[in-house]
Structure 1
Amino acid sequence: MIWTASMIIMFISSIMISICTIISKKTFMDREKMSPFECGFDPKTSSRLPFSLQFFLIAMIFLIFDVEITLLIPLILIMKTIKPMTFSVIIIFFILILVIGLFHEWNQGALEWTY
């Protein structure tokens, strides 16, 4: 019974994959699709804009600090189960690491937006 059901599933899956492949056949060498498009005219400048490295650095710093903040959330849940002194030491150590990282980024100039 399991073998029959798996064969039916494989048959239906292969038919669906074949139909999707036939329906979605695209020509990659089509001239209109390969040419740049800007309101019907060829673009006057490059269609690719240079990526701002400063924006990338700020986004990475935000991501790192955002993940570290999510690491603080479970500490709220364990606050009642551990000693207050231990909890205070853990929180102070964690926030100290965050502040040291912030000052390091500041000294490296990653937080200064240059034009």
Structure 2
Amino acid sequence: MGHEQLDALLDNWRWPTPTRILHSDFLRTTETAARIAEGFQLALQPEPRLRERHFGELEGQADDNYPRVWAHDADSAEHGAYGVESVASVAARMQGVIASLENALHGETILLVSHGDPCRYC
């Protein structure tokens, strides 16, 4: 999400006000969470389980490798081709985050800042 998009989202916030912000500890999500936290005057709380999907041997390689992984994803949510974290594993990880937060922080409004694939799979 770009800076202008985020500013517009914050200016027109229409959801319950968060009481806590948890974010992936990767740089871009930390930066996004920091801008949101500033707007709501909240502290940041890194949560490594919100990290992006691990792409195994393709990690850090060109983006044009993603379609190869996604083709395998379409065949099986359990595949680990190229050493990638499976879709099923990402979904379980994200569902685990949400379940643990619901138990530990019941009654709070928690904003999670993560990445495209993890958000899609949970």
TM over 0.5: no
The structure with the largest alpha-carbon Rg is: 1
Q: Which TM-score applies when normalising by structure 1?
A: 0.27
Q: Which has the higher contact order (CA 8 A, sep 6+)?
A: 2
Q: Which TM-score applies when normalising by structure 2?
A: 0.26
Which structure is higher in strand share? 2
